Amino acid sequence: MSGGIEIPVRVVEIEQATATVKRFRFAPVSGEPLPPFSSGAHVVVLMPAADRTIRNAYSLIDRAEDGSSYRIGVLRTPQSRGGSAFMHEQVTVGTELKITMPVNLFPLVHAGRKHLLIAGGIGITPIFAMAEELRRTDASYEIHYAMRNTSSGAFVDELRARHGDKLKLYRDDFQETLAVDAILPNQPLGAHLYVCGPAGMIEAILEGGREAGWPEENLHSERFQAPPTGEPFSVRLAKAGIACEVRGDQSLLEALEQAGVDAPFLCRGGACGQCEAAVIEADGELVHNDHYLTEADRASGAKIMLCVSRLKGRELVLDL
Amino acid sequence: MLAATIKSRPIYEGLRLDGRAKRHLVAAEGEGALAVLDMLAGEDAALARATLLYAPGGSAGQEHGAKLAALRPDGFHPLPTQPTLLNRLEVILQTATMGTRIYVAGTEGFIGKVVALAQAHGVDPQSVRTEHRGSLARRVQCVHCKGMTENVTASPFVCSHCGLNLFVRDHYSRRLGAFQGVCVDAEVPGEIPPAEELFR
Ligand code: FES
């Protein structure tokens, strides 16, 4: 259950890709080839911190052709809740970790006649894999990549070598802005747009797409949102008969896992719907931070996504 | 004896103008013209960006085409038959750009063909706005001989190609724009339930 099958891996290479991003290469401990995945997929990495297991989702950059390794990229975030700090500070070559099976919530639409890939900062990781798949299948595509400056070097060099002038760069330090209204006009019918990056950028790009008359079916995004922090509260599982406290810096899902509950998840970012739970009683106000529930779901007060949403109040009783 | 509603049965939500579309590409057949009139009458801004294709089909003689022309859309293409309409649409789709919203109104068979054509040009069927008007007649493919029979209004019916007695299922193929017809008396040949008019 929970995230499904876990695969033990060993870190075999660490590379400082940019000033703030490290790339990690994982090899299977068993020696068995790692499963193939479609581009846009992510895995959840389980990190054994001193007091708890930290679980963070990271997009897969690529897989060695023989299945001997996967690569992920991890941004060092200043407001890290532990995951990125753990990867940057505690993990060395030889460290053993566990990862979940790859899951793809951001797949390419192969029926599309053209693909616009748009990345901001660390959002390049799934886009990198998608661009590679499009290149291999000889599809029509463009890559638009916004970054602070070219100290984002490693990704740029590899992308340039593989994709030539299909890659367009936008550098903050040159006051170059990625303007969606410059990209969208005159794209052929059947084009699809994919965006991954900071939340504000995703919103702006998607809104630009709608403004240009693109149907929702052609607009795709992936956000890896860290669970928002808040005030502590109590949670009780009616069926399991378990009660525990959710700390302010902890998500509901994390608190349940710490209490030994094997709760289901896939994305841990409020996007996939896997962690949905039924609310029996809420002594306080539900704070929904997901991108999954509909307005009607929210208004009903009967559902909550464990990975990112919380209670502002005293106690939450779930039908689990 | 209509099979219980199956998920593949398409849902037609009705024509609704997409205010953000840069271009409106509208295909209508027969009574579908009335749905187009409902959507576009008085919408001058949208009409200035609209291309209409119309085949009168079974509604010839009712002057629907003249009413559509009177809307004075940016482009109006009256066409004699469904196949000629589909050919013209194909040419337009080849050079269409994103920001074009596709609408289709008419019989189920016509809607299915337009949606399938749009899909072949990379358009997600969900993003095509559809309205069913006119006869409920179905286009049915015989699963045995693969022959298509148009305008099926009753089930079971006799396949126009191989002559088997076919029961019309609710199973719908988007690619073919057709429902499935399955032999109704395969086990006991000749044991055929009475035909019911279902799709007038
Ligand atoms: S795990 Fe995906 S929405 Fe919570």
Band the pLDDT of A117: cuts 50, 70, 90.
very high
- Owner of token pair 């302010």: A248
Match 């358009």 to its residue by tokens: B123
A310–chain B nearest CA distance, Å? 34
pLDDT at residue A89 greater than cutoff 90: yes
- What is the model's pLDDT at position A3? 66
Question: Could you tell me if B36 and B121 lie in one domain?
Answer: yes
**CA A49 to ligand 1 centroid distance, Å:** 22
Q: Assess whether A42 and A96 both reside in one domain.
A: yes
- What would the mean pLDDT of A160-180 be, rounded to a whole number? 90
Query: Is the distance from CB of A106 to CB of A291 less than 8 angstroms?
Result: no
What pLDDT is attached to residue A149?
76
Residue B3, pLDDT score = 39
Residues B110 and B82 in one domain: yes
List of chain B residues whose C-beta atoms are within 8 Å of the C-beta of residue A186 = 97
Residue of A nearest to B100 (CA): A213
Residue B68 within a domain: yes
Predicted pLDDT at B7: 57
Residue B64 lies inside a defined structural domain of this protein:
yes
CATH code (residue A57)? 2.40.30.10
The answer to whether residue B108 sits within a structural domain is yes
Q: Helices B82-95 and B108-120, interaxial angle, to 10°?
A: 30
Residue of A nearest to B124 (CA): A217
Nearest-5° Cα angle at A105, A118 to A215 = 60
B172, B125: one domain: no
Contact A213 B121 (CB under 8 A): no
Check whether residue B36 and residue B128 sit in a common domain.
yes
Q: Categorize the per-residue pLDDT at A190 as very low, low, confident or very high, splitting at 50, 70 and 90.
A: very high
Domain end call among B88, B113, B132 = B132
B143 and B112 in a common domain: no
Q: Dihedrals φ, ψ of B137, to 5°? A: -50, 140
Which of B132, B161, B189 is the endpoint of a domain?
B132
Q: What pLDDT, on the 0 to 100 scale, is given for residue B4?
A: 40
A213–B126 CB contact, under 8 Å:
no
At residue B139, φ and ψ (nearest 5 deg) are: -95, 125
The reported pLDDT for the residue numbered A151 is 66
**Nearest CB to A189: which of B18, B20, B122?**
B122
Q: Do B59 and B156 lie in a common domain?
A: no
Per-residue confidence band for A152, with pLDDT thresholds at 50, 70 and 90: low
Residues B31, B126: one domain?
yes
User: ipTM score of the complex?
Assistant: 0.81
* Residues B122 and B29 both lie in one domain: yes
Asked whether residue A14 falls in the same domain as residue A92, the answer is yes
Q: Do B145 and B122 reside in the same domain of the chain?
A: no
The reply to whether B157 and B112 lie within a common domain is no
User: Do residues B44 and B123 share a domain?
Assistant: yes
Q: Decide if B13 is inside a domain.
A: no
Note the pLDDT of residue B62.
81
pLDDT on residue A79: 72
- Residues 6 or more apart whose CB falls under 8 angstroms from that of A53 comprise A46, A47, A257
The tally of domains found in chain A comes to 3
CATH number for the domain spanning B56: value is 3.40.50.80
Residue spans of chain B under pLDDT 50: 1-5
Model pLDDT, residue A150:
66
Residues of chain A with C-beta less than 8 angstroms from the C-beta of B124:
109, 111, 215, 217-218
- Is B14 a domain residue? no
The answer to whether A111 contacts B122, with C-beta atoms less than 8 Å apart, is: yes
**Domain span including residue B82:** 23-132
Question: Does residue A228 belong to any structural domain of this protein?
Answer: no
Domain boundary among B132, B150, B171: B132
Span from the CA of A184 to the centroid of ligand 1 (angstroms) = 31
Domain count, chain B: 2
Distance CA A94, CA A303 (A): 42
Which range is most confident: A171-180, A233-242, B177-186? A233-242
Q: Where in the sequence is the domain holding A77, given as residue range(s)? A: 6-104
Examine residue A22 and state whether it is found in any structural domain, yes or no. yes
The pLDDT score that the predictor gives to residue B123 is: 95
Assigned domain for B172 exists: yes
CA nearest neighbour of A110 among A88, A86, A133 = A133
Residues A100 and A11 both lie in one domain: yes
Q: What is the pLDDT of residue B135?
A: 80
CB contact under 8 A, A191 and B18: no
The answer to whether residue B1 is domain-embedded is no
Q: Which residues pair with A141 in a beta bridge?
A: A115
d(C-alpha B138, C-alpha B107), whole Å: 8
* DSSP state for residue B14 in the 8-state scheme: -
Ligand 1 pocket test: which of A261, A272, A320 has the largest number of ligand atoms within 8 Å of its C-beta?
A272
Per-residue pLDDT for A1 more than 70? no
Could you tell me if A249 and A183 lie in one domain? no
Is residue A264 a contact partner of residue A303, using CB atoms and an 8 Å limit? no
CB-CB neighbors (< 8 A) of A111 in chain B: 119, 122, 124
The pLDDT of residue A153 is 67
